[in-house]
C-alpha cells in the first residue's frame, strides 16, 4: 500500500490545483466578458501568412534546426552523466573515471554554448530580414490606398502598425519560434530518456501532463484576448498623441489642457486595465505549472525518503541514488521548458495579435486600382473633358451631379463657388484620387480609368492651400527624390516663382533645414516652395487648390506674379475664393450644389449678372471697406 502512496498524493495535489485553476478560469472569464473581444483571425491563417515571409529563408531555419539538435543534446545527456558521477562516488571512488565524465560534461557544455551563440546570430540576421520585408510591404501597401481609405484610418494607428507591431513580430522570428521548437525537442528527449531509465517513475511524471496541456490551451485562449486589448489600447494612445501633439498650439490657445489631460487619462487607464488583464493571465499560468513541478519533485523525494534510494525495487523497477539524481535533473528540464512556454506563449500571443493588426491593413484592398490592360501615358497635351460626371463620397450623397465641361490644352480654367459646391472634388477626381460613380473623365481623349495611376499623376502638379513640407532641407522638399536635377535648375525654378526672394536671405540657402511640416517658414514661403516644387517636376497640367488663401498682401503679390508666369507653361486649373487671382483665366466655371450654373470668362460672367457677379460684387465691396 505504501508503494502507491506517491500516486495517491499526486492525485490529491492535482485535485487542489484543479480547484485553483477553476477559480482562476472564472476570474479571467469575468474579465473577458467585460472586455468583450471577438476573435478576428484564426491562428492557422496568421501562421500561414507569416510563413510566406519565412519561406525565402528556409535554409537559414534548417541550419538553426540542425544547430539546435546539438544544443539540445546537452540537456538530454548532462543528467545521465551526473547520475553516473553519483554512482561512481557512491561505489569505489575512481578519480580517472570521474575526470573522464567531467571532461565529457565540459565538452558537451562548450559545444552547446557555441551552438547557442551561432544559432542566435543566424536567427537575428534572418529575423531582421523578414521584418524589413514586412515593413517595406506594409509601407508600400499603405501608399497604394486611396485618399478615402487613408482618411478613414488615424495616422497614429498606421504608425503603430509599421513600428510597434512589426517589432512584436520580430521577437517571434528571432526568439520565440526557435525556443518553442527547442523546448519541444527537450521535452520529447527528456521523456524518452526517462522511459529508458525507469518507466514507472516516468509514468508518475506523466500524471501531470494532462493538466499541463489543459492549462496551456486555456492560457493560450485568454492570453490572445488580453493581448488584443493591449494592442488596441496602445494604438488608441498612439493615435491620440499623434493628433494632439500636432495640435498642441490650438489646445494651448483655447486653454484646453485640462480637458485633453482628462481624455488622455481615460485612454491611459484603459491601457492600464488591459495590461493588468494581461499580467493576470500570465501570473496564473506560470505558478500553476510551477506547482506541478514542485509536486513531482516532492513525489520523487518521497520515494527516496522511504528508503528506495538503497537499490529498493519500486513496482518492479530498481531505484538507485544515481537514478534519483538523474530524474531530479530530468524533472527540472521537463518542467522548465513548460514554465518557459508561459513567457514564450506570452510573446507569441503578442506577435500574433500584432500580426493580426498588420494583416488587417494588408487586407484592405485599394479602392483605386489599375485595370489589367491599363496603358502608360508617355506625354500629355492638356486637353481635359468631364462627361456627365456623378460622384459621391458616401452612397446616395451626391457631391457632383452631371458635371460636364471641357478644357483646351494650354488654357487656364478657374472654378468658383460656395464651400461644398464640388470645386476641390473635381480636381481630386482628375488625378484619380477617387473614382467616379457615373460618367467619364478624359485626358487627351483617353478615359483616365484606362491609364495607370502612376503614369497619370506624374503629368499633374498639385499646389494646395495646406502645403506639406517634410523634415529635411529646402532642396529635398523641392526635389522629393527627383534625380538628375542640378542646384542651378532648382534655383532657376525658385527664381521663376519668386521663391528666391527669401531663399537668398537664408544662411544655408537650399540647404536650410526644414522642421516638422515646415513650421519655421511662413504660409506664403511654404506656398512659394510648393510652386517651385511643381515647376521642377515639369507637369503638363497644374492644379492650384486655394493656393492663395491666408496669404499676406506682400506675399500675395509675389504669388500673383508667379501665377501669371505659370499660366504660360501649360494647362492650369485653379480653385480660388479670391476672384482677383482668376480674372485673367480663359474660362471660369461657377458651381453650386454639385452643378455648373455659369461658365465663361471674367467679363462674360459679369455681364450675366448672376452668381459670379454677386460673388465679385461682394468681394469688391469688402475690399473697399477694408481700404477705407
**Cβ-based neighbours of 496, under 8 Å, separated by 6 or more:** 532, 535, 562, 565
- 133 falls in which pLDDT band (50, 70, 90)? very high
pLDDT above 90 covers a percentage of the chain that reads 11
Q: Would you state the pLDDT for residue 235? A: 80
pLDDT mean over 391-401? 89
Q: What is the pLDDT of residue 23?
A: 47
Q: How far apart are CA 173 and CA 182, in angstroms?
A: 14
- Give yes or no for a contact between 28 and 228, defined as CB atoms under 8 angstroms apart: no
Q: Within the chain, how many helices (H) and strands (E) appear?
A: 22, 14
Identify the pLDDT of residue 597. 93
Rounded distance, CA 425 to CA 402, Å?
13
Chain mean pLDDT for the chain: 79
Which region among 144-153, 323-332, 359-368 has the lowest average model confidence (pLDDT)? Answer: 323-332
Collapse the DSSP code of 441 into the 3-class scheme (helix H, G, I; strand E, B; otherwise coil) and give the result: strand
Report d(CA 377, CA 375) in Å as an integer: 6
Determine the pLDDT at residue 598.
92
Please report which confidence band the pLDDT of residue 30 belongs to, taking 50, 70 and 90 as the band edges: very low
Asked if residue 518 has pLDDT above 90, the reply is no
624 or 251: which leads in pLDDT? 251
DSSP class per residue in 97-115 = HHHHHHHHHHHHHHHHHHH
| Rounded mean pLDDT, 382-390 | 93
CA distance 158 to 361: 9
Q: What are phi and psi of 391, to 5 degrees?
A: -150, 145
Q: For the residues of 562-603, what is the DSSP string, one character each? A: HHHHHTTTSEEEEE-S-GGGSTT-SEEEEEETTEEEEEE-HH
Q: Which pLDDT score is estimated for 29?
A: 47
DSSP 507-558: SSGGG-EE-GGGTTS-HHHHHHHHHHHHHHT--SEEEEESTTTT--HHHHHH
Q: How confident is the model at residue 99 (pLDDT cuts 50, 70, 90)?
A: confident
Considering only 78-87, 236-245, 496-505, 547-556, which range has the smallest mean pLDDT?
547-556
Q: Looking at residue 19, what is its pLDDT? A: 46
pLDDT band at 4 (very low <50, low <70, confident <90, very high): very low
> What's the confidence (pLDDT) of residue 454?
86
Sign of CA dihedral 352, 356, 358, 359: positive
Report, as an integer, the average pLDDT of 217-222.
71
Band of residue 383 on the pLDDT scale cut at 50, 70, 90: very high
Report d(CA 359, CA 49) in Å as an integer: 9
Greater confidence, 574 or 517? 574
The answer on pLDDT for 60 being more than 70 is yes
For 254-307, how does the pLDDT look when each residue is reduced to its tens digit (9 = 90+)? 778 888 888 889 989 888 888 888 777 777 776 777 777 777 777 767 766 665
Residue 203 in this model has a pLDDT that exceeds 80: no
* Neighbour-count burial for 331-357, b at 16+ CB within 10 Å, e otherwise: bbbbbbbbbbbbebbbbbbbbbbbbbb
Whether residue 27 has pLDDT greater than 60: no
What's the pLDDT score for residue 550?
A: 54
Q: How would residue 600 be classed by pLDDT, with cut points 50, 70 and 90?
A: very high
Which pLDDT belongs to residue 596? Answer: 93
Residue 51's CB is within 10 A of a number of other CB atoms, namely 10
Whether the pLDDT of residue 357 is over 70: the answer is yes
**Least confident residue range of 89-93, 196-200, 567-571, 593-597:** 89-93
Higher-pLDDT residue of 333, 432: 432
Report yes or no: 94 and 325 within 8 Å, Cβ to Cβ.
Answer: no
Query: Is pLDDT above 70 for 485?
Result: yes
Coil, strand or helix at 446: strand
Q: What pLDDT score was predicted for residue 554?
A: 61
User: Does the pLDDT of residue 189 top 60, yes or no?
Assistant: yes
CA-based angle 619:624:625, to the nearest 5? 95
pLDDT of 587: 93
Higher pLDDT, 311 or 387: 387
Q: Closest Cα to residue 159, out of 145, 139, 140, 131?
A: 139
Distance CA 417, CA 429 (A): 17
pLDDT at 94 over 70: no
Average pLDDT, integer, range 20-32: 46
- 394 versus 548: the higher-pLDDT residue is 394
Over range 25-44, report the average pLDDT: 49
Please report which helix (H) or strand (E) contains residue 400, including its range: strand 397-407
Query: How many whole angstroms separate alpha carbon 254 and alpha carbon 160?
Result: 29
Rounded-to-integer distance, Cα 338 and Cα 347, Å:
14
Confidence at 590, pLDDT banded by 50, 70, 90? very high
Q: Estimate to the nearest angstrom the gap between the alpha carbon of 507 and the chain centroid.
A: 39
**Tens of pLDDT along 432-449?**
888 999 999 999 999 999
What average pLDDT does the segment 518-534 reach? Answer: 84
Cα-based angle 319, 322, 328 (whole degrees, multiple of 5): 85
Domains and CATH numbers, the chain: 2-362 (1.20.1560.10), 375-458+581-628 (3.40.50.300)
Q: Distance between the two ends of the chain, CA-based, in angstroms?
A: 113
Phi and psi of 83, rounded to 5°? Answer: -65, -40
Of 224, 219, 178, 159, the closest CA to residue 356 belongs to 224
pLDDT at site 415:
93
User: How does pLDDT run across 537-551, given as a tens digit for each residue?
Assistant: 888 888 888 766 555
CA angle 360, 363, 369 (to 5 degrees): 140
Amino acid at each position: 500500500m505504501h508503494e502507491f502512496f506517491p500516486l495517491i498524493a499526486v492525485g490529491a495535489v492535482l485535485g487542489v490545483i484543479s480547484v485553483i485553476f477553476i477559480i482562476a478560469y472564472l476570474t479571467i472569464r469575468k474579465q473577458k466578458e467585460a472586455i468583450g473581444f471577438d476573435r478576428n483571425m484564426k491562428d492557422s491563417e496568421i501562421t500561414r501568412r507569416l510563413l510566406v515571409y519565412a519561406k525565402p529563408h528556409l535554409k537559414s531555419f534548417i541550419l538553426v534546426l540542425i544547430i539546435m539538435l546539438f544544443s539540445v543534446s546537452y540537456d538530454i545527456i548532462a543528467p545521465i552523466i551526473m547520475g553516473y558521477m553519483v554512482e561512481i562516488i557512491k561505489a569505489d571512488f575512481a578519480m580517472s573515471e570521474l575526470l573522464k565524465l567531467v571532461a565529457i560534461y565540459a565538452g558537451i557544455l562548450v559545444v552547446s554554448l557555441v551552438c547557442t551563440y551561432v544559432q542566435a546570430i543566424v536567427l537575428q540576421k534572418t529575423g531582421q530580414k523578414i521584418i524589413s520585408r514586412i515593413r517595406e510591404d506594409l509601407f508600400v501597401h499603405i501608399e497604394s490606398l486611396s485618399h478615402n481609405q487613408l482618411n478613414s484610418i488615424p495616422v497614429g494607428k498606421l504608425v503603430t502598425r509599421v513600428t510597434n507591431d512589426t517589432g512584436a513580430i520580430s521577437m517571434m522570428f528571432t526568439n520565440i519560434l526557435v525556443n518553442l521548437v527547442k523546448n519541444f525537442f527537450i521535452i520529447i528527449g527528456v521523456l524518452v530518456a526517462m522511459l529508458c531509465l525507469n518507466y514507472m517513475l516516468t509514468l508518475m511524471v506523466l500524471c501531470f501532463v494532462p493538466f499541463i496541456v489543459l492549462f496551456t490551451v486555456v492560457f493560450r485562449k485568454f492570453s490572445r484576448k488580453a493581448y488584443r486589448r493591449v494592442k488596441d489600447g496602445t494604438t488608441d494612445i498612439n493615435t491620440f498623441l499623434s493628433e494632439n501633439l500636432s495640435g498642441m498650439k490650438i489646445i494651448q490657445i483655447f486653454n484646453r489642457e485640462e480637458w485633453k489631460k482628462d481624455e488622455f487619462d481615460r485612454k491611459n487607464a484603459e491601457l492600464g486595465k488591459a495590461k493588468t488583464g494581461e499580467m493576470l493571465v500570465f501570473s496564473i499560468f506560470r505558478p500553476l505549472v510551477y506547482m506541478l513541478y514542485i509536486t513531482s519533485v516532492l513525489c520523487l523525494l518521497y520515494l527516496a525518503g522511504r528508503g528506495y534510494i538503497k537499490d529498493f525495487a519500486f513496482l518492479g523497477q530498481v531505484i538507485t541514488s544515481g537514478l534519483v539524481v538523474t530524474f531530479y535533473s530530468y524533472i527540472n528540464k521537463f518542467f522548465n521548458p513548460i514554465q518557459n512556454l508561459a513567457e514564450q506563449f506570452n510573446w507569441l500571443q503578442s506577435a500574433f495579435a500584432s500580426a493580426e493588426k498588420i494583416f488587417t491593413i494588408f487586407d484592405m484592398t485599394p479602392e483605386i486600382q489599375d485595370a489589367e490592360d491599363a496603358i502608360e501615358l508617355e506625354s500629355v497635351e492638356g486637353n481635359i473633358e468631364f462627361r456627365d460626371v456623378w460622384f459621391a463620397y458616401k452612397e446616395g450623397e451626391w457631391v457632383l451631379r452631371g458635371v460636364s465641361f471641357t478644357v483646351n490644352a494650354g488654357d487656364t480654367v478657374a472654378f468658383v463657388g460656395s464651400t461644398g459646391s464640388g470645386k476641390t472634388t473635381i480636381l481630386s477626381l482628375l488625378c484619380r484620387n477617387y473614382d467616379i460613380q457615373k460618367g467619364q473623365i478624359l485626358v487627351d481623349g483617353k478615359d483616365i480609368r484606362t491609364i495607370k495611376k502612376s503614369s497619370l499623376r506624374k503629368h499633374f502638379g498639385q499646389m494646395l492651400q495646406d502645403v506639406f513640407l517634410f523634415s529635411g532641407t529646402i532642396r529635398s522638399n523641392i526635389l522629393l527624390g527627383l534625380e538628375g536635377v542640378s542646384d542651378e535648375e532648382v534655383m532657376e525654378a525658385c527664381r521663376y516663382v519668386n521663391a528666391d526672394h527669401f531663399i537668398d536671405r537664408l544662411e544655408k540657402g537650399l540647404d536650410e533645414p526644414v522642421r516638422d511640416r515646415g513650421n519655421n517658414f511662413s504660409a506664403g514661403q511654404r506656398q512659394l516652395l510648393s510652386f517651385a516644387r511643381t515647376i521642377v517636376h515639369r507637369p503638363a497640367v497644374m492644379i492650384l487648390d486655394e493656393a492663395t488663401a491666408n496669404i499676406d498682401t506682400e506675399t500675395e503679390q509675389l504669388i500673383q506674379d508667379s501665377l501669371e508666369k505659370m499660366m504660360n507653361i501649360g494647362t492650369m486649373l485653379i480653385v480660388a475664393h479670391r476672384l482677383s487671382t482668376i480674372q485673367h483665366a480663359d474660362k471660369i466655371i461657377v458651381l453650386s450644389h454639385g452643378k455648373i450654373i455659369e461658365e465663361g470668362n471674367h467679363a462674360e460672367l459679369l455681364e450675366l449678372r448672376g452668381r459670379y457677379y454677386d460673388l465679385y460684387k461682394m468681394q469688391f465691396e469688402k475690399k473697399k471697406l477694408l481700404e477705407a
